[in-house]
Amino acid sequence: MTKAISVSGLHKSFGGTHALDGLDLDVESGEVHGFLGPNGAGKSTTIRVLLGLLRADSGAAQVLGRDPWADAVEVHRRIAYVPGDVTLWRNLSGGEVIDLYGRLRGGLDPGRRAELVERFELDPTKKGRTYSKGNRQKVALVAAFASDVDLLILDEPTSGLDPLMEEVFQRCVAEERDRGRTILLSSHILSEVEELCDRVSIIRRGQTVETGSLAELRHLTRTSVTAELAGAPNGLALLPGVHDLHVRGYQVRFQVETDKLDAVLRSLSESGVRSLTSTPPTLEELFLRHYQEDMAAQGVAR
């Protein structure tokens, strides 16, 4: 597979602030890639570098095989972008903006446009400021999904959408993936990322801290296990990778590093298992773990 986006060692500072501090990001062609990180981690800065709106201080970036700064126009012909905060012109209707953006990209599929307007329940005759935040986002989303492009860059595109529209959005992303398009999705809605994304990258303070498929990432973290045993547990506490062990009679509750699960299960079955629940880590836990490390690091710094 070729890479739709490949970024390595990206640095960008504004005055004294280092927004990007050696960031790496690889997005394969045809995948939906989740882009996660706490506020101010550098997600939007990265996206704006990928769009050639900012020039990186150092590091390499390629989008669709080209330099996003030098070949901005050529690259943009094959990209649709939805900003997190969509601002429209007060005297242009939503329909006019959709068509304008479409024409300024590779073109617009009129049938798809009509269908999307219908599905997102958007009134395209309203003008700029009369749209709510969610409706302004719908204008940008319709323009992006109806455009004939290879790569969609979506920067927190659903922050103003209601749950019904969120579902429409998720279906649209799935359809785009099925057509072979690549999507970079920056989002705070972890269920959305979990549902849609093939791979995710988590960034923190301008650096990539975790990247891979959800399955791979889960492998690196802990699974929660609750079990009722036939007899007293033996030697559980001594096994490597077991944490937070609570024992009450024959009941045990603990966390285990996912790659050590095998040995733990063997030990449990030696005691005899009456019931067992094991919960894989959610993306939220993955995310929170990094986030909390961040907070802890800040706490230490203070």
Partner 1 sequence: MTATAFDPRPTSSQTTGPGPTSSRQLAGTGALLRFALRRDRAMIPIWVAVNALMVLSMPNTLEGLYTTPAERADLLTQMSANSSLRAMIGPVFGDSIGALTAWRVGVYAGALAAVTSLLVVVRHTRDEEESGRQELVASGMVGRRASLTAALLAAAVANTLLALLVVAGLAARGATGALAFGIGIAGVGMVFATMAAIVAQLTESARLARGLTAAVLGAAFALRAAGDSATDDGSSALTWLSPLGWLENLRPYADERWWVLLLFVTAVAGQATVAYALAGRRDVGMSFLPTRPGPAAGRLGSAAALAWRLQRGSVFGWSIGFFLAGLVYGGMTDGAADLVGDNDNAREIIERMGGQAGLTDAFLSAMVGMLGLIAALYVVASVLRLHGEETSGRAEPVLANAVGRLRWAAGHLVIAFGGAALIMLLAGLGFALGYGKETGPILGACLVQVAGVWVVGGLAVLLHGVAPRAAMAAWGVAGAVLLIGWVGPALDVPQTVLDLSPFGHLPKLPGGEMEWGPVLVLLLLAAALTGAGLAGLRRRDMTS
Residues that bind partner 1 (CB under 8 A): 48, 51-55, 72-74, 76-77, 79, 81-83, 85-93, 95-101, 103-106, 124-127, 129-130, 140, 153
Q: Contact 240/216 with Cβ under 8 angstroms?
A: no
Q: Give the separation between CA 280 and CA 285, rounded to whole angstroms.
A: 10
The nearest distance, CB 76 to partner 1, in angstroms, is 4
Q: What is the DSSP letter of 57?
A: S
CA-CA-CA-CA dihedral for 121, 187, 33, 5, to nearest 10 = 100
Q: Give the separation between CA 108 and CA 14, rounded to whole angstroms.
A: 36
Tokens 């939906």 identify what position?
A: 32
The nearest distance, CB 90 to partner 1, in angstroms, is 6
The nearest distance, CB 74 to partner 1, in angstroms, is 8
Nearer to partner 1, 108 or 256 (CB): 108
Nearer to partner 1, 72 or 288 (CB): 72
Q: How are beta strands 151-155 and 273-279 bridged, if at all?
A: unpaired
Nearer to partner 1, 76 or 199 (CB): 76
The nearest distance, CB 79 to partner 1, in angstroms, is 7
| Three-class DSSP category at 108 | strand
The nearest distance, CB 100 to partner 1, in angstroms, is 4
The 251-257 sheet, strands edge to edge: 242-248, 251-257, 222-229, 273-279
Residues linked to residue 220 through DSSP beta bridges, in sequence order: none
Nearer to partner 1, 104 or 296 (CB): 104
Nearer to partner 1, 104 or 164 (CB): 104
DSSP 247-298: EETTEEEEEEEGGGHHHHHHHHHHH-EEEEEEEPPPHHHHHHHHHHHHHHHH
Residues linked to residue 242 through DSSP beta bridges, in sequence order: 256
Nearer to partner 1, 108 or 283 (CB): 108
Tokens matching residue 232 = 């007293």
The nearest distance, CB 53 to partner 1, in angstroms, is 4
Q: Give the separation between CA 289 and CA 178, rounded to whole angstroms.
A: 32
The nearest distance, CB 49 to partner 1, in angstroms, is 9
Nearer to partner 1, 78 or 222 (CB): 78
Q: Give the separation between CA 229 and CA 252, rounded to whole angstroms.
A: 8
